[in-house]
Structure 1
Amino acid sequence: MRAPFAAPLGADFWKLWTSSAVANLGDGITMVAGPLLVASITTNPAAVAGAVLAQQLPWLLFALISGAWADRLDRRRLVVSVNALRAGAMAVLALAVGFDVATVPLILTVFFLLGTGETLADTASAAFVPAIVAEPQRPRANSLLFASFNVLNQFAAKPLGGWLFIVAAAVPFAVNALTFAVSAALIATIRAITPARSRPSPVDADAALAAAEPDGVRRPGLWSEIGEGMRWLLKHRLLRTLAFTMAVGNVVFCAAFAVFVLYATRVLGLSDVGYGVLLVAFAAGGLLGTLVAPALIRRVATSLLLRTGLVVECALHATLALSREPWAVAAMIVVFGIHTTVWGVVVTTIRQRDVPPAMYGRVASVHSFLELGGAALGSLLGGVVATAYGLVAPYWLATLAMALVAAAAWRGLRAATLGSSPEPEAATSP
C-alpha cells in the first residue's frame, strides 16, 4: 500500500494544487477585508451581515444549476473563464475603494457575483482530481488540497487580510484580483477536463452512458439533468447516507456555533483573545487532520473512520454542553478539527470513485446544496433556541440530534470502503 501513496501525483495535480492554494489565500483575505470595508462605510449591522450573506446566497440559489452546467461544458475552460471574470470584478472593487467611490450596493453586488462564480468554479473543479489523479493516490491528493485550505485560508489569510486593509483599504481586494488571475492562468495549463474525457465509474455505468449526449440526439433540459443527478444520488445508498448525515450535521453544528462567541465569553468566561484562541483550535485540528489522514486511511477501516467521526461529533457537542473548562473545550475542538478533515478526505475520495464522470458536477452540487442549506437553517435555528432556552441549549440539542443521526447512519456506513468500488447492486440499493 505504501507505493501508491508515494507515487508522483503528476504535473497537472500540482498546477491544480497551486491554483487552489493561491485562490484559498485570496478568498481568506477578502473574507476578513470585506466586512471591514462595509463597516468602514456604514454602522448598519444588516449591511455588515449582508457582506457575508451575499457570498453565501448564490449557493442556495444556483448550486444545482451550476452543477448541471459543470457537466455540460469543458470544466477547465469554465473554471478559467469564471476566475478571470472574478478577477475583473475584484479589480473594479479595488479601484472603487482606491478612489473612495465604493458604496454598500456596489460591494454587495460584487460579493454576490463572486459567490455566483464560486458555485460554478468550485463545482467544476471538484471533478478535476478523479480525472487527473489515479484512484490509489486520491486520498493523498485530497489531503494536500485540504491542507492548503487549512494553512492558507484559515491561518495565513485572516491576519494578512486585516493587515492589508490597515495598509490601504483597496489593497486586499487588489491582491484577491491578482490571486484569481493567477489561479485562472494555472488552470489554463491543465489538460481539458470534460465529462466525455473522464474515466467512467464502474458504479452505475449505464447512467454515465445515458448522461452522454449522442450525436444527433437533442440534449435533455437543464432541470431534467438536475433531476437525473438527484435521482442518482438518492439511489446510491452510501453516498445518500453520507449526504444527509452531513446535511443534518451542518444544521446542528451551525445552530450550536451561531452563538459560540457568546458561549465563549459568558459561559466559559473567556476574553476576546481567548475566543480567538478557540477559533484557532479549529484550524489547528484541521491542519493536524491533513497530516494524519493518509496514514489513517491506509491503516484503519473506512467504515470505522466514519463511525468514529459521528462519535466525535456527539462528543464535541456534549463537551460544550457539560464542560466549563476552556482547556477541555479547546482540546475537544482540536479533535473535532482532525475529524472534519479526515471525514472530508474520505467522503470526497468515495465520491470521486463512485460518481459517473458525466454527472459529477450535478451530484457534487446536491451535496453542496444540502450542506450549505443546512448551515443557513442551522444559523437561524441556533439563535432562536439560544434566545428561548439559554446559551447551552443549542449544544444539548446538537448532542441529541447527532446521536440520532449516528444511530440511523451506523448500519449504512458498514459498506464504506476506499478499495475497489462495490458492486452496483450493493451500492445503489434503496
Structure 2
Amino acid sequence: MGRFVPERLGSSFRWLLGSSWVTNFGDGVALAAAPLLLASLTRDPFLISLAALIGWAPPLAFGLYAGVLSDRLDRRRIVLVANAVRLCVLAGLVTMIATGTVTVTSALIALALIGITEVFADNTTSTLTPMLVARDDLTVANARLQTGFLTLNQLAGPPLGAFLFTAGATWPFAGQLVLVAAGLVMISRIKLPPHGRENGAATAGLWQDLKEGFRWTIRHAAVRTLALTILIFNITFGAAWSVLVLYSLERLDLGSIGFGLLTTISAVGGLIGTALYGAITRRFSLGVIMRVGLILETLTHLGLALTTSAWVASVIFLLFGAHAFIWGTTSVTVRQRAVPAELQGRVGSVNTLCVFGGLVGGSLIGGALASHYGVTAPFWFAFAGSAVFVVALWRQLMHITHDEPETAGRV
C-alpha cells in the first residue's frame, strides 16, 4: 500500500482517496441502475431520455456557483453537506422503491437532486488535492484518484448495479446509499489548511467572484490554453460519441452487448494507462504528454471514420482509453499546479463549463451531421476539427506546463 499511496502524501489525502473511491463506486452502481429503473417505470423514449439530460444539466446550471462557494466557504464542510443531502435523497428514493410508490416523475426529481449535489461535492473535492499534497506529488495523487474512478465507476460499478437491479430494484440504490455514507465519514477525517476567504468572509458579490474566476483564467496563458483545448476537444469528442451507438450498430455491425463492450474496452485501456503513467511522467515532460495525447485523439477519430472492422475499432478504443486517462490526469495536474488555492474552485468550475458546454454543443453538431451525411460524418468532423486545433496551438501546448503557481496551493 505504501508504494501505491506513498506515505509522503499524508493521512488526509488517504482519507480523501478512500472517500473518492467509495463514492465513485456508488456512482458506478447507479450508472446502470438509474436507466434500468426508469425503463421499468415507462417505455416512453422521451421520458427515458430526460435521464441523460439530467446528467448533463446540473454541471452547466450549477457548476459556476459551486466554484464560487468552494472558494468562499470551508471546503470540507461543503462536501459533507452535499453528501448529507445526497444521502437524504437516496433514502427517500429507496423508501419509494421499496414501498412501490415510486413514479417516473419522482424518480426523475430524485435523480436530478442527486446530480445537483454531486456538482457541489465533485467540484469542491477537486480543490482538496492541491491543498493536501506537495506540488510535485500532484501527478501521483491525481493518478491514484483516477485509478479509483476507472476501476470502480467505469468497470466494477455498472455491472454490479445491473446485477443488483435484477435481484431487486431497491438493492443498487441502497448500496449507493451505504457507499456515500462511508465516503462522508472519510471526508470528515480530513484536516485542511486555510485557503483564503474562510467562513464566507467575502466582500465581493457573486457575479464579481465569477468574473474574477473567468478573468484569471483568460489572463493566465497556460490555463487559458488548457481551457480552450478542453472546450474544443470536447466539442469534437461530443460530436463523434453522440452517435456512437448508431456507429457500433450500423458501421461495425455490433449488437447491444458489443456496444457495451466498447466502453469496457476503453476502461481497460484506462487501466493500462494507469499502470504506465508513472513511467511515462518520469521519462517525458507533461507538455510532451499533452501534445502526443491530442495527436492520438485526433487519429482516433480518423481511424474510426475509416474502419468497418469491429476488431480494429476495439484496438482503437483500447488506445483511446489509455490516452483519456493519461491526458485527463495530466490536465488536472497542470491546472492544479498553476491556480492559486483561493481560486481553485472558480477556475475548476470554468473548466467544468468548458467540458459540458463542449459535450452538449458537440452532440448537437454530431446529431445534425449524422442525420444529413451519415453516421461517419461526425467522426470526419471530429478529425478535421481536432487536427486544425492541434496545428494552431502546437507551440503553446509545449509550454503549457511551464508556469509556476502565483501563490502556494497548500500550507
TM-score by length of 2: 0.94
Indicate the residue corresponding to 2:33 in structure 1.
33
Number of the residue aligned with 1:227:
211
Does residue 326 (structure 1) correspond to residue 302 (structure 2)? The answer is no
- What corresponds to 1:299 in structure 2? 283
Partner of 1:311: 295
Deviation at 1:291, TM superposition (A): 1.5
Which 10-residue stretch deviates more, 339-348 or 154-163?
A: 339-348
Distance 2:353 2:400 in 1: 23
**Contact between 2:222 and 2:401, CA under 8 Å: does it hold in 1?**
no
Compared with structure 1, are the counterparts of its residues 54 and 272 closer, same or farther at alpha carbon in structure 2 (3 Å cutoff)?
closer
Residue 207 of structure 1 is matched in structure 2 by: none
* Stretch moving more, 336-345 or 360-369: 336-345
Structure 1: any 5+ residue segments left out of the alignment? 197-211, 425-430
> Could you tell me which amino acid in structure 2 is paired with residue 345 of structure 1?
T
Relative to structure 1, the CA distance from residue 386 to residue 185 in structure 2 (aligned partners, 3 Å threshold; closer, same or farther) is same
Residue 43 of structure 2 aligns to a residue in which SS? coil
Identify the residue that residue 133 of structure 1 maps to in structure 2.
Answer: 133
The more displaced of 406-415 and 187-196 is: 187-196
Separation (CA, whole Å) in 2 of partners of 1:240 and 1:303: 15
Q: Sequence identity, in percent?
A: 37
Alignment check: 8 A CA contact 2:298 2:387 kept: yes
SS in 2 for 1:416: coil
**Match of residue 209 from structure 1:** none
Kindly indicate whether the alpha-carbon contact (under 8 Å) linking 2:131 and 2:192 is maintained by their aligned counterparts in 1.
no
Identify the range of structure 1 (139-148 vs 55-64) with the bigger mean alpha-carbon deviation. 55-64
> Is the CA contact (8 Å cut-off) linking 1:131 and 1:193 kept in structure 2?
yes
Which amino acid in structure 2 is aligned with residue 177 of structure 1? L
Q: TM-score if structure 1 supplies the norm length?
A: 0.90
Q: Which runs of 4+ in 1 moved over 6 A?
A: none
Query: In the alignment, which residue of structure 2 is the partner of 1:47?
Result: 47
Q: Look up the SS of the partner of 2:9 in the other structure.
A: coil
The corresponding residue for 1:249 is 233
Q: Which aligned pairs between 1:389-404 and structure 2 lie closer than 5 A?
A: 389-404=373-388
Displacement of 1:270 = 2.0
Tell me: CA distance 1:423–1:160, structure 2 relative to 1, closer, same or farther (3 Å). closer
**2:175 aligned residue:** 175
The AA in structure 2 aligned to 1:338 is A
> What is the alpha-carbon distance in structure 1 between the residues aligned to residue 287 and residue 262 of structure 2?
30
State the match for 1:344 in structure 2: 328
Residue in structure 1 matched with residue 409 of structure 2 by the alignment? none
Residues 1:63 and 1:162: Cα distance change in structure 2 (over 3 Å)? same
In 2, distance between residues paired with 1:324 and 1:291? Answer: 30
Matches within 5 A, 1:37-76: 37-76=37-76
- Rounded to whole Å, the distance in 2 between the matches of 1:4 and 1:309 is 24
Confirm whether residue 78 of structure 1 aligns to residue 62 of structure 2. Answer: no
SS at match of 1:102: coil
Shift in Å, 1:8:
3.2
User: Contact conserved, 2:73 with 2:198, CA < 8 A, in 1?
Assistant: no
CA–CA distance in 1 between the matches of 2:405 and 2:39?
Answer: 55
Could you say which residue in structure 2 is the equivalent of 1:361?
A: 345
Instruction: Specify the alignment match of 2:396 in structure 1.
Output: 412
Q: C-alpha root-mean-square deviation of aligned residues, in Å?
A: 2.0
